[in-house]
Structure 1
Amino acid sequence: MAMKNINQYFILKDKRKLGFAEYGEIDGFPIIYYHGSQSSRLEMHYDLSFVSDNNLRIISIDRPGHGISDFNQSGTILSFAEDVKELIEHLGINIFSVAGMSAGAPFVLGLTYLFPENIYKVSIISGFAPFNKKSKQYLSKKVKIILSLAKSFPFLLKIILRLQAKQIVSNPKKTLRNFLKIMSEPDQEVLKNDLVMKVIESMFKEAFKNGSKGVAYEISNLLVNSWGFELSNIKVPVTFWHGEKDYNVPFEWAELMTSEINQAHLNKYSEEGHLIIFKHAREIFTNLR
């Protein structure tokens, strides 16, 4: 039975609310999906035919402080893995695959590191890598400034994101246009699709539903600091999907992570950018079955 239930939540043991959405078949093969930065559980393809065609059940989860998930002031990448495990057990799921987009990558890998016995396969799409001297050299100037600011002057990032959250309420389309200017030429072509823009606007607005605190904390406290585990300790097969013309997250980051994870494979798209998920969702998700 096909479904699309986007406004669900679960109360964790510590009484925090964890928001999630489900897409596809109630009895389909479960795939846990992790959204990118400044996004939410509403980050999903506008055309869900690939989900029904392949009998999939995609569960997309708001991270703490995003969408309808409560903020966790002491949250880590691995504590979120524990949150997700609670939800999965509540839903009665034992074996599943995991996929993550962009900044969702560390959280996908954190779950994989902690609970390898429950995970069949992993896909990382345009994925964020550990932020260190080796990875920083491949960043575009603009992205390097933003991430360095987040690491060294987190209070400034908080101010910027607080302002952005207010602008989203007053003029979401203009705010989104400014936010997306940084993207590459292939991505600008993808963004000409009104259906893509509708998805991006809804997931973006939902991310800041309860302010910018969760987004700012995730970037400054989690993404650019130690993730709490080593990639070499990942024991589940991981497939990386990455465009060589990705200006947001450099293609070299996928190469770095592929070289560090034992059972890793990299699929590259030479003429594409960051938003490959909108062109290749069917291929990416069916590979996780």
Structure 2
Amino acid sequence: MNNINQHFVLNDGRQLGYATYGSKNDFPIIYCHGSQSSRIEMHYDMSFAIENGLRIITVDRPGHGLSDFNPKGSILGFADDIKQLTEHLKIDKFSVAGMSAGSPFALAIAHQFPEQVQKTAIISGFAPFNSESKKLLTMEVKLMLNLAKYFPWLLKMMLSIQDKQLKKKPKKALQGFLKIMSSPDQEILKNDLVMNIIIRMFNEAFRQGSKGVAYEISNLLVKDWKFKLSDIQVPVKFWQGKKDNNVPFEWAELMTKEIKNADIKLFQEEGHLIIFQHAKEIFTELKPNITKQ
């Protein structure tokens, strides 16, 4: 039922890599992974997808995993890639989910294709990086994103070093990334099945080196996304832990106010990795209502 090494060729000749979980005949959900990640990013136990009639499709963004780098890549451009993928897979109606830095890409798909996208889930989601949202960040995350925006060459160098470390000592390479996570997340990280996924998804992100990861952070995430949240017509639900050190919970609140048809589920005692606690609830809610079928 699961096939994690698939790809097809886009109209411009680039290869797009993706993985599928669940049955081909079930309701499709496009999943947008986080930063420094890949199509491998998904729950370690996918039985919930089979049991609830879900077909989850996780897609490598350009320069990550099996997807070719796109020197002209943009957030809206990735939405166009997804449109081509759904046409290739003969999918008409689908929902979309975005985890962390995958949120702008998921929201862009919802923005561009309101006739096809049924619902959207944003999990621990990245918000537009501006003077208002920046104030809410922890010092460590703010420093990294400011580096990305104002000193992209330095971020590129740091990611290149991380890439080399990942290939030699993956757990050690991830220590700096993981240590800023909150105590609820630290408990989740004690699960070897979770850590195995995190190590694999990071390694796969850097399969082609660090260029794609660096480009996405510096050229897309911290820049203008080129679309307005207020123009999104598709229902959006934000899933957020209040004790998230990576993404402040107030970011979900800011975006909920911007989007007309949006609401938020706030977990008071949880952090960034809520997907490992609430995958079944999050993904099953993305199925269309009976009246829309």
Q: What interval of TM-score do these two structures reach, taking the shorter chain for normalisation?
A: over 0.9
TM-score, normalised relative to structure 2 = 0.97
TM-score, normalised relative to structure 1 = 0.99
> Match for residue 146 of structure 2?
148
> Match for residue 104 of structure 1?
102
Q: Does the residue aligned with 2:37 lie in a helix, a strand or coil? A: coil
> Match for residue 227 of structure 1?
225
Q: Does the residue aligned with 1:268 lie in a helix, a strand or coil? A: strand
Alignment partners' CA distance in 2, 1:204 and 1:24? 23
Q: Give ranges in structure 2 of 5+ residues lacking alignment.
A: 288-293
Q: Does the residue aligned with 2:277 lie in a helix, a strand or coil? A: helix
Alignment partners' CA distance in 1, 2:147 and 2:201? 24
> Match for residue 5 of structure 1?
3
Q: Does the residue aligned with 2:31 lie in a helix, a strand or coil? A: strand
> Match for residue 277 of structure 1?
275
Q: Map 1:116-265 to 2 at 5 A.
A: 116-265=114-263
Alignment partners' CA distance in 2, 1:150 and 1:204? 19
CA positional deviation for 1:162: 0.4
CA positional deviation for 1:48: 0.7
CA positional deviation for 1:273: 0.3
1:124-161 deviation digits (Å, cap 9, x = unpaired): 00000000001001000000000011000000000000
Alignment partners' CA distance in 2, 1:119 and 1:77? 17
CA positional deviation for 1:178: 2.8
1:77-107 deviation digits (Å, cap 9, x = unpaired): 0001001100100000000000010000000
Percent of paired sites with the same residue = 65
Q: Does the residue aligned with 2:96 lie in a helix, a strand or coil? A: strand
> Match for residue 74 of structure 1?
72
Alignment partners' CA distance in 2, 1:282 and 1:86? 28
Alignment partners' CA distance in 1, 2:207 and 2:259? 36
Q: Does the residue aligned with 1:117 lie in a helix, a strand or coil? A: coil
1:43 aligns with 2:36: no
Matched residue type, 2:256: T
> Match for residue 86 of structure 1?
84
> For the aligned residues, what is the CA RMSD?
0.5
Q: Given the alignment, which residue of 57, 74, 95 partners 2:93?
A: 95
Q: Map 1:9-28 to 2 at 5 A.
A: 9-28=7-26
Q: Does the residue aligned with 1:252 lie in a helix, a strand or coil? A: helix
Runs of 4+ displaced beyond 3 Å? none
Alignment partners' CA distance in 1, 2:234 and 2:176? 38
126-135 vs 172-181, which deviates more?
172-181
Alignment partners' CA distance in 1, 2:14 and 2:236? 30
